[in-house]
Copies of this chain bind each other. A is one copy, B any other.
Amino acid sequence: MRAAVIDGKAVAAELRANVRAEAQKLSELGWSPRLVSVSVGETAAAELYVRNQQKQAESAGVQFEARNYPAETSLEQLIGILQGLNHDPRVNGIIIQRPLPEHIPVKSLQKAVHPLKDVEGMHPASIGNIVYNDLALGPCTAVAAVEILKTLPLQMEGLNVTVIGHSEIVGKPIAFLMMGLGATVTVCHHMTRSVAMHSRAADAVFVAVGKPGLVTGDMIKPGAAVIDIGINRVETPDGPRTVGDADFESCAEVAGWITPVPGGVGPVTVATLMKNAVLATRMQMDHYRDSYARTDV
């Protein structure tokens, strides 16, 4: 193996330390960051995830409240609840846990979160602001993947980047974020004629598809960075395992750097949610101050 394995937990720990310092500063100004997690119905699938968020929030100095509503709550009621949270000065960020019951379209809830409280970066306006290259709240997984790449000794301007997967919440935002940093970006997906042609030309490859073993070492340029965003449960002779979209062994032979799964992008994603929480709180503080800046009302 020649690739350096990127330690996502170390990147996350450093990010959390910065968040904690920022949360402390905000608290001293009367703006203690606080997240509310909203889940609906049966929570077993999300529970582990929510508990992990709660633990990470505490370690980052961010308050965290988990709320659960009954499965039969209507869309209108949930939108009303979100509007209440939007109006509540004690709530700085809203997380909508998935999965949701079938009668609740996730996009309708995401759009109902005020863009200034959209710590998951899922509101269309949040996505649009990323395109406009305004520093706003970005989708956590995409931001985390880019943050990891930025820790490497690579010049982002002019870097040839290939993104495999063009989902709205991961692949596309990674593409804009990297464009914003000056990279030349190609986005591939299931309709691409030859993914290997594009990935082999890239200095950095992001893969976010959800197919174990999709990217193999022969698709990677020697010395390139491989950022693996896939999280797949597979059965092995030794029992179930979690793996990414890259074939770790063959990619690590060729790449210069590679993220492991688990322990790569995952931990940084949760830390990014906390970073968004302090960003959102600061934006709300600025917004509040602006509205009181004029005294001749």
Residues of chain A at the chain B interface (Cβ within 8 Å): 107, 123-129, 131-134, 157-158, 160, 166, 168, 172-173, 175-176, 179, 182-189, 191-193, 198
Would you call A168 and B132 a contact (CB within 8 A)? yes
The 8 closest A-B pairs by CB, nearest first: A124-B128, A128-B128, A127-B128, A186-B186, A184-B192, A182-B191, A125-B125, A157-B191
Interface of A is mostly: mixed
Partner of A131, one of B158, B168, B189, B191: B168
Shortest C-beta distance, A157 to chain B (Å), equals: 5
Q: A187 — which chain B residues lie within 8 A by C-beta? A: 175, 179, 184-186
Tell me the bound Cα distance from A137 to B131 in angstroms: 16
- Given A127-B132, A172-B176, A191–B186 Cβ distance below 8 Å? no
Q: For A127, what are the chain B residues with a Cβ–Cβ distance below 8 Å?
A: 127-128, 131-132
Interfacial chain B residues near A179, Cβ < 8 Å? 166, 172, 187, 189
Report the Cα distance A172→B127, complex, angstroms: 13
Separation of A64 and B132 alpha carbons in the complex (Å): 29
Contact partners of A131 in chain B: CB under 8 A: 124, 127-128, 131, 168, 172-173, 176
